[in-house]
Amino acid sequence: MTYNNTHPGVASYHEQLVRQFHEACLKDTLTPLAYHAFQAFYGLIKTSKHETRQGFFDDLVVLARLLWLDSERLVVRSAGEVFQAYVSRIMQLLDSQPINEIRDRILGNEASVLERLQSARERIATAATPYITDGCTIGIFGNSASVFEVIKAAARKRRDLRVIVIVSFASLAIRDTLFQEAQNLTKLDVQVTIMAEGALISRIHLISFFLVGAEMVSKGGGIINAIGTKNIAHLSHLYRKPFYVAAEMAKFSNIFILTDRDIPYTEARVRYRLPQESVLALERQGVTFDDALYDLTEPEYVSLIFTDEGVHAPASITNMMISSFYFS
């Protein structure tokens, strides 16, 4: 993909880093996206041609935007915010130092930061396991690698775990992924039940607590996740069931998101499992499709957030300096 004509400030090394990021994401789907994004950011720090502070920082902003456009994932946007906040902080600390000194300081902790990102899900699992007891039933929704890691760790230490995979219309649209998730869970020696979202209210008494992932965590503690998460959170609140979230700190954004309209727009949409000719025929008749991929779960409906840096209440997130967790 060529960006030069449509995105000002794009250089050839930006495009090369985006290609490397894209290829790494395709080749290694098990590693967190934030890890691949940070690799690209560190690559830029090494190759940026700018010798002024503003040019150096603008270079990073351009790459962060391109990675987000390429991936269409909010977590990549959040990772860009975290890295930019760190670079900005280093520039303030080294206010009178030349660019090369700033560059060396940023690169000095590259290995440790990438290691923490790569092991983030295991640390999330460590934080969450004490909240899981023998014989409990966990309701999960969405295809979260962090949630899977939590259940995998809990299955080694707890007995008679049961997992209910809640299925929505949107998740049926990617049913191959859904069935793979169920198969992977059975390999952990847990009892797995697949349940339609519409049946949840009549079966909620079976569930001990809910556990979901997040695509992004807003500054105020709101959770951006697969469409339908909000419905489950509201039901869990109504029936007094804990609603837990498992998310890497790299997904924590510095922007406030108060309504669904505030969710940053991406081109990624829900794909309805209908033949294209049927979709076109319906559209010609004036039928529209609501294909939003994400919704916002307000912080008051979230019990706790399990992260790679411990357990947090949503209310505590507003004043957190997210960048300090990875770079301290």
How are strands ordered across the β-sheet holding 209-212?
Answer: 191-196, 162-167, 137-141, 209-212, 243-246, 304-307, 310-312
Tell me the pLDDT tens digit for each residue of 93-104.
Answer: 898 888 999 999
CA distances from 304 to 152, 181, 209 (A): 19, 24, 11
Predicted confidence at residue 119, as pLDDT, reads 94
pLDDT digits (tens, 9 = 90+) for 65-96: 999 988 989 999 999 999 998 899 899 989 88
Q: What is the CATH number of domain 12-118?
A: 1.20.120.420
The per-residue pLDDT for 322 is 56
Two structure tokens written together for 61: 């902003």
Closest CA to 256 of 180, 177, 319, 175: 319
Q: What dotted CATH number matches 121-320? A: 3.40.50.10470
Looking at the chain, the domain(s) classified CATH 1.20.120.420 span 12-118
Is 277 buried (19+), middle (13-18) or exposed (0-12) by CB count in 10 A? exposed
What pTM was computed for the model? 0.88
Would the pLDDT of 15 be above 70?
yes
Question: pLDDT (tens digit, 9 = 90+) per residue, 218-264?
Answer: 988 999 999 899 999 999 999 999 999 999 999 998 888 888 888 88
The ranges of the chain annotated as CATH 3.40.50.10470 are: 121-320
